[in-house]
Structure formats: structure tokens, C-alpha cells
Structure 1
């Protein structure tokens, strides 16, 4: 089974956490930024890189994975491949409008409960609904 990394991007608003969702490029469904591991980067910092490319955020990534979810990745030939995704929280410090995939995605800040309702994957729904901001984060990777 293939593995990916994902960024659960969050911020505090009025003492409550909000989660950033983005739309997928192919179907337009709501997801969290994710991608394949990046050679030379730890999994948490690869997730941080995906957050930048897909959502235009900078922040601090927590080195501790908060959970996993599985989904079937649709390939260009129409077939699917099972993928397991490791999820790393990212405390968002900056959001910009000029980022690599800005013309391919929409983004929206929502409550953890609303985020859970919008995504399709049951395991990701459970992770989002139960999300509480972590107390530890690591700084951005110097190589980003």
C-alpha cells in the first residue's frame, strides 16, 4: 500500500479552532492538503510543503502524527490504488493569495465539525471532528 502525508491546517478564532479545507483538483471535493513523501524532507515537513503548495499557508508543523486515514487514489487510467495518509497538524501563522496551486483550488476555514461533514473519508471525518490543537510544534523546515 502506498503512503502519503497530509497537513491538518488550523488556527484559533474567538478561542475556537478552525480548520482549513481545500478543494481537490480533479473532483472539487473538500480535502486537506496532502501529497507524496518528499525525498530529503521528514514526513511532517513534507506535509508543511503540501500546505504551502495547495493552500498558500505557512506555519509550524507538529512532528507528531495525529492519525491516519485511508482512501482510494484515482489514477489517470481510471483505476484506483489504496493509499494510507499520515496527518500532521500545522499551526497556520500566515495565509497568502499567491501560491502555486491558487488557480486550481478553493479554500475555506470552517469549524472541526463542519470540516468533518464536508470530507468524504470516514477516518478523516473522525480525526477532524475530534481535533484539538496540539501543544508542540516544530518550526518551518529551513529547506522550504
Structure 2
């Protein structure tokens, strides 16, 4: 396992940080990889859970925390970044701005019916191929399509 250091965002504002940490939540059923996608709150597009850096947490820990808050899943990440994808982020304060998402695999160990954003999002387990077709970002689609936790790095 790779040792990550916690980051510090003290003194920063959310809109100063133009990177987010994303969770590629997965499980293996009948020897097939399933990816969990959720809808965004605003546009209802299919996305992966992601969020701003959290003070005192590593990027992988932040991704796992976002997986809980946005998708209601708990799991572990080995801390390795699977890749980076770009997208346009919309905020009430700043409108649209470019953003990079660093994505971390989170092997799901439990799923809850009640979680912080349960009433705000839909979630769906799909194949890698289907997940790649459902998301809008081409770089994210490639990461989803190529993902295989059984393959050695």
C-alpha cells in the first residue's frame, strides 16, 4: 500500500481549489466487475462520487468519504490514483470553471439505505462498458472501461 500524507486546506476556500478527488466504487459479482454511478444533484448526469480536498485526509480517504456521503457505500482504497480526468465544474459563487478529478478505486464492502445525500441522488450498479457510455467525460469513460482490480499494476 502506498503511504499518502494528509493534506492541509486551512486558509483556502473551496473555489480556490480546482481539483477534486473521485471514487471509482466497484464490486465483483459472478466474476464480473460492477461500477457504481450516481446522478449529479443539479443536472442529473451520471457521475462518480467526488469532492473537494478535506483537511487532514489523504486524497484516497477523501474519495472514500465522498463515496459514503454521495452514494452511501463504505469501502477501502489502496491509495493509488487510477488516473485524472477533466470536466467543467459549476458553482453558485463562480459559475463554470475547469476542474481535474483524481480518481481512486474504492472496493465497496457495504451499502446503506440511509446516507447524507440519499434523497438527492440516484445510484446504479452497471458494467464497465455501460458506465463508460453513461458518463459525459471521455477521459473518465476510458478509465472506467480500462479498470480491472484483478490485473496487477
Query: Structure 1 length normalisation: TM-score?
Result: 0.90
**Alpha-carbon distance in structure 1 between the residues aligned to 2:69 and 2:91:** 21
1:74 aligns with 2:90: yes
* Correspondence for 1:118: 134
**Residue equivalent to 1:29:** 45
Unpaired segments of 5 or more residues in structure 1?
137-144
In the alignment, which residue of structure 2 is the partner of 1:44?
60
Higher-RCO chain (CA-CA 8 Å, sequence separation at least 6): 1
Comparing 75-84 with 49-58, greater Cα deviation is found at 75-84
1:9 lines up with 2:25 in the alignment: yes
- For residues 13-42 of structure 1, the C-alpha deviation after alignment (integer angstroms, 9 at most, x for no partner) is 110100000000001010000000100000
The list of structure 1 runs, each at least 4 consecutive aligned residues, that deviate by more than 3 angstroms after superposition, is none
**TM-score, normalised via structure 2 length:** 0.85
Query: 2:136 is paired with a residue of what secondary structure?
Result: coil
1:96-143 deviation per Cα after TM superposition (whole angstroms, max 9, x unaligned): 10100000000000000000000000100100111101679xxxxxxx
The residue number in structure 2 matching 1:98 is: 114
Aligned-CA RMSD value: 1.5
Q: CA deviation at 1:7?
A: 0.3
Name the larger-Rg structure.
2
Query: Unaligned stretches of 5+ in structure 2?
Result: 1-16
